[in-house]
Copies of this chain bind each other. A is one copy, B any other.
Amino acid sequence: MTESITLAGIASMVGGSVRGDEDAVVSGVATIKAAGNDELTWASAPLHRAMLADSSAGAVLINDGFGDTPMPAIVCADVDAALVDVLGAFSPKTPGPPIGIHETAIVAESATIGKNVAIGRQVIIDAGAVIGDNCVLHDGVVIGEGTTLGESCRLWFYVVVREGCSLGDRVTIHTHTVVGADGFGYVSRSGTHRKIPHLGGVVIGNDVEIGASTCIDRSKTDNTIIGDGTKIDNQVQVAHNVQIGKNCIVCAQVGIAGSTRLGDYVVVGGQAGLKDNIEIGSGVMLAACACVPSSIKPNTKAAGSPAVDYRQFLRENASIRRLPDLINRVHELTKRLNKLECAADDKPDS
């Protein structure tokens, strides 16, 4: 963690320029409301302009074109991307076990442990497992038989990766997530349910991050697959034999049922539910709370329950707002039509 940085230093870090005193220092980052006069904040939306007037922040990170600010500014081309660099500079070192194997960890003799691996307290690594170089296994992690981790993975407290699974390089998994629990599959005959054995595993690519308390089930045969660069939030359910492509974003509490396939660059909003055995094309965006009963074509947006095309969802939803009034109008039209029909009937020539 950097203790404090000059505005010139920050500008250099993000490829920007300073407007104000280059030698002024900041010692942290905070939101506009919370920042003190020794902290940097950031602003991008129009509504931030008024908020800055009331802010005590010592300096502000802005995009070129944002306009004047009441405090010194660092002007850059992409404030959101720049903020990642700045937050990184101020980040404390991530806590974790030191390199080596803690004396309370239990590592099978037949497991292979790479270089510079940090294995925490009460970690369990079973027979034939392979842990790549520079991995960090926080306290209580369980690695099942024959499971392999690539390089530089970080598994937080009590993460369980059951037997026969595989993780790529630079995979991060957060606390209490389980990879490789049995898929939920039964053959039901005469009302009773026989468990289907699940012989497959889970294969996770490189640069994947998985949140806390998420479940990624093992497959019946073949593998459940998570593609390179995909990010999955907390409390997500990924069922057996699901295939998720590369660089997808899956928000919290999403459920993806068995054997459903997602292409690349798919974004799934929070709490969305996806039926089993459907196909979500690459580039699809599913709105939060969407309930998706059928396949979705690539590069489209869907929303609603059941989910439909996003523009259609907006139109239908606006129509529902007008529905109570529509019923009244139809009632009114009926009365007027009745009256006209009566008048027509009364005419001598009809």
Contact = CB atoms under 8 A, between A and B. Distances in A.
A195 to B, nearest CB: 7
A334 interface: yes
Contacts of A213: 176, 178, 213, 215, 235
B326 A320 contact: no
Interface stretch (A3-11, A17-25, A109-117, A118-126): A118-126
Given A106-B104, A333-B330, A235 B233 contact: no
Interface residues of A, number: 117
Interface string A257-301: 100000011000011010100000000000011010100000000
B174 A29 contact: no
A323 B319 contact: yes
Contacts of A229: 192-193
A43 interface: no
Contacts of A84: 187, 194-197
Interface in A188-205: 188-189, 191-199
Nearest to A92: B199
A222 B29 CA distance: 8
Contacts of A189: 78, 81
